Amino acid sequence: MKKIIGIVMAVIMSTAMIFDTGVVYAFNPLAGADKTITSANLTDGIVAKEQYKDCLKLKTVSIPLEWRSTCYDQIRELYEYRYCFKKLGHIWDRAFYNCPNLKSITVPEETIIGDQALGYSDISGSLTQDQDFLIVGFYNSDAERYARENNFKFQAYEWYTARGLIGEEDVWKAFTPTRIFTPGDVNFDGVVTIEDAQGALADYVTNLSKGLSGEPTVASDVSGDNCYDIEDAQLILRYYTMNLASEAAVTWLDVKR
């Protein structure tokens, strides 16, 4: 019994020593990060609710990479390996709330993102979005879903075969960043203008006549309802005209209020 108590106390003491250094681990969801940190390395499987809230100096968030065996091809008798981020199951609600200097984050393929976890703050006294916040992730992932529903910029990763990096016998896959999607920028010229609203409306009419639905990307589905339709064209036009008439930058959050 004394031995068990001693082991438990040792674990508690070692955990306390870890938190005294200001390095916060996700296995203790009650512990908030040191508010003075400028960078965070996510290695523990989750980011707890409000874990990095009010870390005003936080600028970078990184996730380690690793080679991971994903499957075995019995026909070719080859293993497929992927150069992946370490697994990060969740970024919980408001995990990075009020982190104004954090301008982008790369999110693993399987990560689930909670409400207002990224790109939001209330430092000014009311809920605001960082209009330029960039989420880097994979197509058809929860990161893309979060970016689309919250109107954040999204840069997509694509997989490619990377033979010869480590061995020739098996299949090695890595990923590379591709196109950046900006909410409302339907024609991908880098800005949201009247042409985007007109283009969205033209796409809607064309798809309607053919009995089709448009592709709901981060750029086109500004309403966040997983459809590309007349509502998106109207919102893009409203966003453009409100920014044209306002001296201060208007966000998508303002447009939807």
Q: Are residues 237 and 152 in the same domain?
A: no
14 in a structural domain: no
245 in a structural domain: yes
Distance CA 56, CA 179 (A): 29
In tens digits, what is the pLDDT along the chain, a chain of 257 residues? 444 434 333 333 333 323 333 333 334 444 577 899 999 998 878 999 999 999 999 999 998 887 776 666 666 566 667 777 888 999 999 999 999 999 999 998 899 999 999 999 998 788 999 989 999 998 889 999 999 999 999 999 887 776 555 555 566 677 787 889 999 999 999 899 999 999 999 988 888 887 777 778 889 999 988 888 899 999 999 999 999 998 888 889 899 88
Task: Give the E-state strand segments of 1-64 in sequence order.
Answer: 39-41, 46-47, 60-62
Which of 125, 149, 181 corresponds to the end of one domain?
181
- What is the model's pLDDT at position 240? 94
On whether the CB atoms of residues 200 and 186 are closer than 8 A, the answer is: yes
131 in a structural domain: yes
Q: Are residues 104 and 200 in the same domain?
A: no
Q: Are residues 33 and 141 in the same domain?
A: yes
- What is the model's pLDDT at position 170? 60
Q: Are residues 123 and 157 in the same domain?
A: yes
Q: Are residues 146 and 163 in the same domain?
A: yes
Q: Are residues 142 and 245 in the same domain?
A: no
Q: Are residues 177 and 194 in the same domain?
A: no
3 in a structural domain: no
13 in a structural domain: no
Q: Fill in the amino acid letter for 3.
A: K
Distance CA 132, CA 122 (A): 16
**Using only C-alpha atoms, what is the Rg of the chain?**
22
- What is the model's pLDDT at position 171? 62
Element of type H or E holding 7: helix 2-20
Q: Are residues 59 and 142 in the same domain?
A: yes
- What is the model's pLDDT at position 11? 35
- How many C-beta atoms lie closer than 10 Å to residue 219's C-beta? 26
CATH number, domain with residue 194: 1.10.1330
Q: Are residues 249 and 168 in the same domain?
A: no
| Residues spanned by the domain of 171 | 25-181
CA distances to 1, 170, 185, 220 from 83, rounded to whole Å, are 45, 13, 31, 30
Strand 90-91 versus strand 112-113 pairing type: parallel
Distance CA 42, CA 85 (A): 10
222 CB contacts (<8 Å, ≥6 apart)? Answer: 151, 183, 184, 232, 235, 236, 239, 252
Count the domains in the chain.
Answer: 2
On whether the CB atoms of residues 23 and 43 are closer than 8 A, the answer is: no
Strand 65-73 versus strand 78-85 pairing type: antiparallel
Task: Give the E-state strand segments of the chain in sequence order.
Answer: 39-41, 46-47, 60-62, 65-73, 78-85, 90-91, 104-106, 112-113, 120-121, 128-129, 134-138, 153-161, 171-181
